[in-house]
Structure 1
Amino acid sequence: MTEGANGGESGGGVADRRSPKRRRRDLSELVVLVRPPGNLTATRAFAADELDQAHAYAAEHSARVEQLAE
């Protein structure tokens, strides 16, 4: 009998099967960046069709919307 990392349990554990809230984008689709001050992990990039969401996210986090270079 083989033991898993959890002591006597064998098997793979729990899988997270939630759908992402936003679809994945190609890097070339991203046009703006929002960097909340003091929280690097909250940085998000947005595509042109998500500009309303970018501005809402920036307002929510006291940040500004930064245009990415073309």
Structure 2
Amino acid sequence: MIENTPAPAIAIDYWRLPATARLKDDAIAMRADEAHHRDTNHYASDIHYQGMTLNQTPAPLSYH
């Protein structure tokens, strides 16, 4: 098991975490960011599969 030490300063700055953030908080922020990249890439892939380009199909309003 990895000890839940204080998050590195670079992670606190990059993810805009509170100064008291721990390593677990850093991991949660990274996972959320990677999930967003996954969703973005799958959306783009779906548009391409349908024979369109992204400029023909803007992201839905609920997409963030």
TM-score, normalised to structure 1, is 0.23
Q: Which has the higher helix share?
A: 2
- Asked which structure has the greater CA Rg, the reply is 1
TM-score, normalised to structure 2, is 0.25
Q: Which has the higher strand share?
A: 1
- The structure showing larger relative contact order (alpha-carbon pairs under 8 Å, at least 6 residues apart) is 1
